[in-house]
Amino acid sequence: MLTLSQIRALRRTVDDAWRSPVADAVAAAWGAPPGSALLWRSSASHVVVAPGGVRGTDRPVYLRFVPESADGARGFARGTLLHARLSADHADVAALVPSSSGRLLERVATPLGDVLAAAVRRVDGDETDVDDLTPDLAAAWGRGLARFHTAAARYADVVDTAPAPPLAALLDDPDDAVAAAAAALTRTLRDQPPGPLVVGHGDHELDNLRWRGWRPVCFDLDEAARRPAAADVAAAVRDLLGADPTAPAHPDLLDAFLDGFARASGTVVTPHALLPHVAAIAASHLVDVRRVLDLPPDDLADPTDAPWLPDLADHLRTHAATQRTILLAATHAVA
């Protein structure tokens, strides 16, 4: 995720109509006129939407960009390259839109410095959340992830190997339970075989999918990397697992997903096999929240020009507390 200071820096440029000179600079690389791109959100990347499209299309287009100096810039670039290869193969990914110069990944100079940017056409498909899922749809989701792995396997050289979870940063944590869990998880991941490796999406959650009938179409490939299949499945099904992955919140849907994935991929992943990977993801989120909360307490207590900051900071702290719960529960079950 982008840091609070990076998010605040962009929001300071945004007017009451959600326009920004930074958005204008990015959109200009795709031939869009000033004021036509509006801030949509900021999370792992900044996203602005051009509701009327950009040069060469009259359909809504989402322009995604990150500061070139951001921690996630390399993943953004690698993910966009993989996305481009898969789009050319007509895989189930959203269509990328070339810039005016014909590039799918652009370096753009903006008032906040150079950014890496890409544009994706809005997917004409249904949004689905956990409450909308049926076992049949969950199985189709599992098959969709397996198809992604098959399509991406040709491009293992495009992406990096997923980094090891930052457990070392937690070994001396002042929270003794977290430190003990990090030590136990380090031993578990060291001693267990990784299982089949894939070129994984890294975040094949429902938020990053749109459905065309029974086929999920994905986007946001920033976390794409070579990783164990079970780790990529774990990243996808976190909403099905809930805050205690040892007692999944949606067991029937989880079983259906895993069955669909196994039938399409030939790789059996059990709920128990997910636990060390879910714990590793939770540990990574714990460390990442500390990086993201990079503003001094005074800025968060009195955000004169950013009244939304305290709420976002509180949301991140709540997220960290949930990840702590997941880390402890999952690690205890496999240690």
How do residues 8-24 score in pLDDT, each as one tens digit? 999 999 999 999 999 99
Predicted confidence (pLDDT) per residue in 102-160, tens digit:
999 999 999 999 999 999 999 989 999 999 999 999 999 999 999 999 999 999 999 99
The answer on pLDDT for 328 being more than 70 is: yes
- Paired with 303 in beta bridges are none
Indicate the range of 125-129, 181-185, 269-273, 299-303 predicted with least confidence.
299-303
Q: How far apart are CA 246 and CA 288, in angstroms?
A: 24
Average pLDDT, the chain: 95
pLDDT number for residue 291: 96
pLDDT band for position 230 (cuts 50, 70, 90): very high
pLDDT number for residue 79: 97
pLDDT number for residue 11: 95
Helices marked H in 89-173 — which ranges?
A: 135-152
Percent of the chain at pLDDT > 90 equals 91
Taking the alpha carbons of 46, 50, 53, 54 in that order, is the dihedral positive or negative?
Answer: negative
Contact between residue 146 and residue 86 where contact means Cβ atoms under 8 Å apart: no
pLDDT band for position 300 (cuts 50, 70, 90): confident
The answer on pLDDT for 90 being more than 80 is: yes
pLDDT band for position 303 (cuts 50, 70, 90): low
The mean pLDDT value for 20-46 works out to 96
Q: How far apart are CA 4 and CA 293, in angstroms?
A: 6
Residue 117: name the closest of 24, 26, 20 by CA.
26
pLDDT number for residue 220: 95
The answer on pLDDT for 78 being more than 80 is: yes
Predicted confidence (pLDDT) per residue in 167-197, tens digit:
999 999 999 999 999 999 999 999 988 889 9
**Tokens linked to 123:** 């997917």
321-330: string of b/e by CB count within 10 Å (b at 16+)? eebbebbbbb
The mean pLDDT value for 191-211 works out to 95
Q: How far apart are CA 143 and CA 261, in angstroms?
A: 5
Residue appearing with tokens 């949606």: 250
The mean pLDDT value for 59-86 works out to 96
Q: How far apart are CA 199 and CA 149, in angstroms?
A: 6
**Tokens linked to 140:** 């189709």
The answer on pLDDT for 63 being more than 80 is: yes
Contact between residue 77 and residue 65 where contact means Cβ atoms under 8 Å apart: no
